[in-house]
Amino acid sequence: MTLLTVNENGLYCKQGDFYIDPWRPVKLALITHGHSDHMRWGMGHYICHEHTVPLLKLRLGEEQSAQGVSYGEEFEINGVTLSFHPAGHIIGSAQIRLVYQGEVWVFTGDYKLENDGLSEPFELVSCDHFISECTFGLPIYHFPKTLEVYADINSWWAANAEEGFNTILYGYSLGKAQNILTHLDTSLGEVFLHGAVANVNEALSEVGYQFPGMRLGSDTNFSNMKGAVIVAPPSASGTPWLRKFKPYREGMCSGWMQLRGSRRRRSMDRGFVLSDHCDWQQLNKAVIATGAKHIYLTHGYESNFARWINEQYGLHATVLNTLYRPDMEGEDS
């Protein structure tokens, strides 16, 4: 029995007549998390984790019809039993579990096993069919321990401040930015936020999250700014917006920073290997631990990873051609 298939609109459940993270407008959409390749505009009704609701309203508009559910809460659509489980990717990110006539399917959306200290940690959900992302599905991706990276970031900030430089940290405005803010040692200096980051923080404050940092705006006193940290999305790099922060140093936080080519292409002063996705070892661990006999792979090095788990573990692995796209430029990675 097949519970989920890919059609021109997205990942479709025929039995329940709904979609998960669809890329074209449909009547009913279940959303794993708030990143733009998973949560798109134009759906009749959205169901997502309750912490994703304010993000959905921020990004797609207040008027959207959206319903929030909590982790572990079971509900039914046309006879398919559904529940959302923590994916550990960003705040509100979920794996979606589907049960129909005793068969269990899980779609991970984006996920990581490593605890980032902010989003609800990944929960292992046993299943028969496991649909996994594999953004970093090659053995060259071996991420360092998150806490060590944050220690590096803080000591780099301290060194920059001592030399009179401001520190600009780039991370995707939803997810990476909040992780960074949570781990910054705010005794080192002031923290400022790019508007895109401040907007997300404000939306998340509606469901109880608090982050350090002041929104940059017309009332900001730039002349007094010394040794501060500015958290901004990667798209801000290379723009005239940066001029006000001179002198500054730039650091990029992304899983892609593992490769020298990506580091050099961005011409950053520092690249921090910091990811909200699984690395090679985490992916292998997850795929085995679910106990699933059938594995489906989406965005990333899916054909290589499928061949590997096929040969290595004797699992039945298939590639699903979706439109979820890890952005090579460090957004959502």
Partner 1 sequence: MTFVELFERLDSTTKTSAKVNAIVEYLQYADEKEKLLGIAVLMGYKPKRPVKTSDLRLWAADRLAIPLWLLEESYYVVGDLAETLSLIVDQRQASRPFNIQNILEDLIEMQDNTFDQRKEKIEAYWSTFSSTALFLFNKLLTGNFRVGVSKKLVIKALGQHLHMEAAVVEHRLMGKWDPFAETMESLFHQALLAEKYFMPYPFFLAYPVDSDFFKTAAIDDWLIEPKLDGIRGQIIVRKNEVFVWSRGEDLMTDKFVEFQQLHTLLPDGTVLDGEILPWKNGSPLEFQLMQTRIGRKKLSKRNLEEVPLVMVCYDVLEWQSQDIRSWPLAERRALLADTLARYPVGNILLLSENLEFPNWESAESFRQTARQYGAEGLMLKRKDSIYEVGRKRGSWWKWKTDPMTVDGVLIYAQAGHGRRANLFTDYTFAVWDGEQLVPFAKAYSGLTDKEILEVDRWVKRNTKEKFGPVRSVKPELVFELAFEGIGLSTRHKSGVALRFPRIVRWRKDKLAAEANHKQDLLTLIESFK
Q: Which is nearer to partner 1, 83 or 237 (CB)?
A: 237
Residue 136: closest CA among 110, 117, 158, 159? 110
Question: Would you call the peptide bond into 247 cis, given omega within 30 degrees of 0 as the criterion?
Answer: yes
Q: Which is nearer to Zn ion, 308 or 324 (CB)?
A: 324
Q: Which is nearer to Zn ion, 176 or 194 (CB)?
A: 176
- C-alpha to C-alpha distances, 85 to 89, 273, 279, 309, nearest whole angstrom: 11, 26, 20, 24
Among Zn ion, partner 1, none, what does residue 19 contact (CB within 5–8 Å per kind)?
none
Give the footprint of Zn ion on this chain (CB under 5 A).
35, 110, 324, 332
Q: Which is nearer to partner 1, 55 or 257 (CB)?
A: 257
Q: Cβ of residue 264: shortest distance to partner 1, in angstroms?
A: 5
Say how far apart CA 126 and CA 104 lie, in whole Å. Answer: 8
Among Zn ion, partner 1, none, what does residue 308 contact (CB within 5–8 Å per kind)?
partner 1
Residue 322 · residue 11 · CB < 8 Å: yes
Among partner 1, Zn ion, none, what does residue 324 contact (CB within 5–8 Å per kind)?
Zn ion
Q: Cβ of residue 107: shortest distance to Zn ion, in angstroms?
A: 12
Q: Cβ of residue 15: shortest distance to partner 1, in angstroms?
A: 31
Among partner 1, Zn ion, none, what does residue 110 contact (CB within 5–8 Å per kind)?
Zn ion
Q: Cβ of residue 134: shortest distance to Zn ion, in angstroms?
A: 11
Q: Cβ of residue 38: shortest distance to Zn ion, in angstroms?
A: 6
Give the footprint of partner 1 on this chain (CB under 8 A).
138-142, 144, 258-265, 267-270, 301, 304, 307-308, 311, 328-329
Q: Which is nearer to partner 1, 42 or 139 (CB)?
A: 139
Residue 288, helix vs strand vs coil: helix
Say how far apart CA 248 and CA 264 lie, in whole Å. Answer: 18
Amino acid identity for residue 128 in this structure = D
Q: Locate 70 and state its tokens.
A: 């909590």
Among partner 1, Zn ion, none, what does residue 268 contact (CB within 5–8 Å per kind)?
partner 1
Q: Locate 48 and state its tokens.
A: 């997502």
Residue 15 C-beta-side C-alpha neighbours within 13 Å: 16
- C-alpha to C-alpha distances, 171 to 44, 180, 236, 276, nearest whole angstrom: 31, 8, 10, 11
Q: Which is nearer to Zn ion, 35 or 112 (CB)?
A: 35
Among partner 1, Zn ion, none, what does residue 332 contact (CB within 5–8 Å per kind)?
Zn ion
Q: Which is nearer to partner 1, 19 or 301 (CB)?
A: 301
Q: Cβ of residue 327: shortest distance to Zn ion, in angstroms?
A: 9
Residue 320 · residue 131 · CB < 8 Å: yes
Count of other CB atoms within 10 angstroms of residue 96: 27
Q: Which is nearer to partner 1, 24 or 27 (CB)?
A: 24
Residue 200 · residue 170 · CB < 8 Å: no
Q: Cβ of residue 226: shortest distance to partner 1, in angstroms?
A: 22
Q: Cβ of residue 261: shortest distance to partner 1, in angstroms?
A: 4
Q: Is the dihedral of CA 300, 271, 212, 183 positive or negative?
A: positive
Among Zn ion, partner 1, none, what does residue 84 contact (CB within 5–8 Å per kind)?
none
Residue 89 · residue 67 · CB < 8 Å: no
